[in-house]
Amino acid sequence: MVSSCRSRAGLKRACGLLLLIATGLGNSHARTLSDEEASWLPLEALVDVEIASADKYIRKLSGAASSAVVVDAEDIRRHGYRNLADLLQTLPGLYVTNDRNYSYLGSRGVGLVGDWNSRILFLVDGHRINENVYDGAYIGHDFIVDLALVDRVEYVAGPAASMFYGNNAFFGVVNVITKTGKQIDGGRVDLSVGSHRAQKQTLSYGKQHENGLDVVISASRLDIRGQDLYIPEFNGVAPRGDYEEADKFFTKVTHGEWSFQFAHGERKKGIPNAPYLQVFFDPRNHSHDAQTFASLQFNRQLESDALFSAKIYQGQYDYSGDYIYADNGQRYINRDVAKGRWQGGEVKYVSATRNGHQWLIGAEYRASPARNQRNFDIDGATILDDKRSDQAWAVYGHDTIKLKQDLTLDLGLRYDRPPYGQGRLNPRFGLIYDWRPETTLKLLYGSAFRSPNVSELHYDINYNFLPNPQLRAETIRSLEAQLEHRPNAASRWLATLFENRINGLVSNVYQGVGDDGARGTADDVYRLENSQQLRSQGLELRYEQQLDGGRFNAAYTLQQSDFSDGSRLENSPRHLAKLNWRQPLLATGIHWALGLQYIGPRQNYANQRVAGAVLGQLAFSGRLTRQIDWSLAIFNLLDRRYNDPAGLANAPVGYVRQDGQTVFFNLGIGF
């Protein structure tokens, strides 16, 4: 490494940095103690031990074989993340693509623009967030919970976690765990301002009362005026076309073993780039999404590490979008509406560890009285009025078997009865070998599926994108080998090799020319079909280091995804690199936090190359008084001009220009 450091000036700088990291950071020796060890500590030692934030339940439920990446409340505050998308794009192997309407999360090389994140399962405190019309989850300012309420975000890659969550946990699971009232402990007002005339106000309160009643309540409001964007494909400006307004409300009441949650989030977004062949530009073009859920959960900790949990929930999703078309020069509004209603319940039981076995069994049921889609012209004809209702259930079992002191076997089986198509049986197999006290080897095989959603099946509006009622479920088989090395308790190396084989990925397939009779124009006709096999292979390296008052981590992912006929997948960068670093700035009480991401070149839907980009964020945060804190975050630090690839719905737009440098300032007042 040292010799290669002499070769080029740019490399030299990078090498210097690496050397510093290697030499300067490696002198911490903290450990995470087992429960047994901790309770035997002498008193002098006990007062020095830090309380670990890891939640036992969640660990237990995601299984021994999966490795979660965790971002905690301190990371969120110090890095000044504005929303979940900001946070997720800093994680290994993940990338976010934005078409200026929604944000799409890509994972391990697959990030289909226009899939509304239906291939990743999003949870809030274990509660499914993906709605039931598009199976979508919304991760920008449209995410249902404000990040200020989040204690931590856990991401498990691969179908490892699908064992417990089924449909949509195709490429991974993102679990957002909210703070308790005890953690918040008091009231708080947050006032933020940012570039493009962004303003946000949040009011939150959390308290654990003496009788054990724990309450969290929060409301927030966001308003971004947005830029007057120039859209090159139309050679025009969309004045005030990029505005965004979002409101959220969240409450959680926990008493003993019972917990009740209610969340509501809604967002209106102006659409500046006229997707779906609209006229450019009309300020009335927008989308509006509203989501609500309520859940009641019961958790009982049984003897030693056994656990029983049960939950009932209800959710709803309403979408409405206004799209502007012209007929003989006369503009009219086409309105697209979706209405989703669902309710369900689930039970889970985790056994105590006996004779080296720990069992987990669970069952879930979900009814969807409405998965409705409607499309009509205002003052005109109804084009689509599709009403669907259905139900789904699943049962699963999982066993963690300690074969030997250093060898653990992880076996799982899940049976799903999805709303469409036949029943699905998916196995999972994991082997964990503690090679040395500081080194673990893991081998993991799992499969998962995704049922086509009602939009893919039935959204037929005589348009040039056709649905397909004959679609089959997508399936994925995934094989993963992982090496984890912990040279000391403050640092961890992870190397992962993975291969995914995806069958029947639902894709747009060219059918013929559109009304203009010419091929290669925006009105070409496409139909959704199950594609041939897609194979992704890759390697991921990650290093994490706890610092005194801070944290450092870096990751690199190399992957390639090809269809069996050799064609490349759209929006599938071969290279992704991430760096996150936060620390106190000397003894000033101010913290700095740096995030860097590199996303390699990728292709858009039309096989045009979208250049790679280096993005940076820098944030500072501190405290003015005991009651008042502040943070200042700069996004796209280097003010790079870069594009995300557009989706097919954006045609003729092929590249979506992203924001240049922006700032976001927050002032928090506690009471």
Partner 1 sequence: MSFRPLLHLVFSLLGVLNATALADQASENSLKAGFVYNFAKFTDWPADGHHQLIICTLSRNPLDGQLSLLRGRRIGERSLEVRTGISSGAWRDCHLLFVPQEDAERAQPILRSASGHPLLTVGDFADFSQLGGHIELRENERHLQFEINQGAAQRAGLKLSSQLLKLAIKVHP
Judged by CB under 8 A, the stretch of 170-178, 321-329, 435-443, 583-591 that binds partner 1 is 583-591
Binds partner 1 (CB under 8 A): choice among 11, 22, 41, 193: 41
Q: Which of 32, 201, 470, 567 binds partner 1 (CB under 8 A)?
A: 32
Q: Is 51 exposed, middle or buried (0-12, 13-18, 19+ CB in 10 A)?
A: exposed
Q: Which of 382, 275, 373 is nearest to 323 (CA)?
A: 275
Phi-psi bin for 654: left (phi > 0), alpha (psi -120 to 50), beta? alpha
Given a contact cutoff of 8 angstroms between Cβ atoms, the answer to whether 270 and 283 are in contact is yes
H-type alpha helices, 71-219: 73-79, 84-88, 162-165, 181-184
Binding positions for partner 1, 526-545, rule CB under 8 A:
545
Residue the block writes with tokens 């689930």:
346
Q: Which of 345, 421, 584, 660 binds partner 1 (CB under 8 A)?
A: 584
The helix/strand/coil state of 648 is helix
Tell which positions 481-510 bind partner 1, by CB under 8 A.
Answer: 489-490
For position 20 contacting partner 1 by CB under 8 A, the verdict is yes
Tell me if 16 contacts partner 1 by CB under 8 A: yes
Which of 4, 7, 11, 29 lies at the binding interface for partner 1 (CB under 8 A)?
29
Q: Cβ of residue 557: shortest distance to partner 1, in angstroms?
A: 25
**155 to 194: interface string for partner 1, x by CB under 8 A:** ----------------------------------------
Rg (CA), the chain: 25
- Kind and range of the H or E element at 633? strand 628-635
- Interface with partner 1, residue 3, by CB under 8 A: no
Interface stretch with partner 1, choices 15-23, 125-133, 417-425, 472-480 (CB under 8 A): 15-23
* 35: contact with partner 1 by CB under 8 A: yes
Is residue 124 a contact partner of residue 228, using CB atoms and an 8 Å limit? no
Q: Say how far residue 63 (Cα) sits from the centre of its chain.
A: 20
Q: Work out the burial of residue 517: count CB atoms within 10 Å of its CB; fewer than 13 is exposed, 13-18 middle, 19 or more buried.
A: exposed
Three-class secondary structure of residue 240 per DSSP: coil
- The only residue of 22, 46, 378, 497 in contact with partner 1, by rule CB under 8 A: 46
Only segment of 23-31, 229-237, 359-367, 438-446 that touches partner 1 (CB under 8 A): 23-31
By CB under 8 A, residue 12 contacts partner 1: yes
- Minimum separation from the CB atom of position 12 to partner 1 (A): 7
Identify residues 322-381 at the interface with partner 1 (CB under 8 A): none
Dihedral angle sign, alpha carbons of residues 263, 125, 208, 628: negative
Candidate ranges 19-27, 217-225, 603-611, 617-625; the one touching partner 1 (CB under 8 A)? 19-27
State yes or no: residue 623 binds partner 1 (CB under 8 A): no
3-state secondary structure of 163: helix
Q: Using CB under 8 A, which of 7, 11, 17, 510 touches partner 1?
A: 17
Instruction: Determine the Cα–Cα distance for residues 449 and 49; give it in Å rounded to an integer.
Output: 43
Q: Which residues contact 69 (CB under 8 A, 6 or more apart)?
A: 91, 92, 154, 155, 156, 157, 542
Site string for partner 1, 197-216 (x = CB under 8 A): -----------x-xxx----
Shortest reach from residue 301's CB to partner 1, in Å: 5
Determine phi and psi for 660, rounding to 5 degrees: -75, -155
**Token representation of residue 380:** 């005109």
By beta-carbon proximity to partner 1, the closer residue of 585 and 611 is 585
Single out the residue of 583, 603, 643, 658 in contact with partner 1 (rule: CB under 8 A). Answer: 583
Q: Which residues bind partner 1 (CB under 8 A)?
A: 12-13, 16-17, 19-20, 24-25, 27-44, 46-54, 56, 208, 210-212, 256, 301, 303-305, 489-490, 545-548, 583-586, 592
